[in-house]
Amino acid sequence: MAILNETSPPPVAPKKKSRKWLWITCIVVAAVVGISLGNASAKTPAPQPTAAPAPVTVTAAAPPAVTVTAEAAVPVTVTEAAAAPVTVTAAAPPAATVTAAPAAPAVRTANTDPAGPKANGKFLIGSQVLPGTWQCDKPGSMPNWTVNAQDNSIIDIELDSIAIVPDSGYTLTLGGCNGLWSKVG
């Protein structure tokens, strides 16, 4: 008979649980806390100090008995009569800012004299503007004029600072002049 020598395998030690999840959790928590503290400690600009109004000092010699009657912007308390000069210091009232509007530009008025100077515009020949030669005193980049018949057909049109207005026209349109059109002939 054979003897069996049965040996049992050596006892196996239980596996240690992996703690990787613990490390990952700690790292995530540390990151969140670090970000939170970083944002909380972010420096905001400190408020700038505002300048206090400059004090106003009044020095006067007062006789032993003085009566003062006035409205004061700040309360004043007199505790005893003073024989020596008295100095009262109070905050100056805030400065007043006054802003003046620029002067309005001069407005050219309409000249009702048919022979008088004209600004750019449309005029009836005969009653508002006389026939003849007109010239712009300060031509822009494209001074122009147009003479129309009563049916609004064009009699003459030019890009020029000298306009020749015929008797046969009904309206005259002047444009492109930075100054005035004046009758020169």
Q: What is the pTM of this model?
A: 0.42
Positive or negative, the Cα torsion across 58, 64, 67, 72?
positive
Domain layout of the chain by residue ranges: 121-183
Instruction: For the chain, list residues with pLDDT below 50.
Output: none
* The pLDDT of residue 178: 95
Contact 87, 63 (CB under 8 A): no
pLDDT tens profile 12-49: 666 666 667 777 887 888 877 777 776 666 555 666 66
pLDDT at 161: 93
The mean pLDDT of the chain is: 76
The confidence score (pLDDT) of residue 30 equals 81
What was the pLDDT predicted at 5?
59
Q: Which residues pair with 90 in a beta bridge?
A: 56
In this predicted structure, what is the pLDDT of residue 179? 94
Give me the pLDDT at residue 97, please: 73
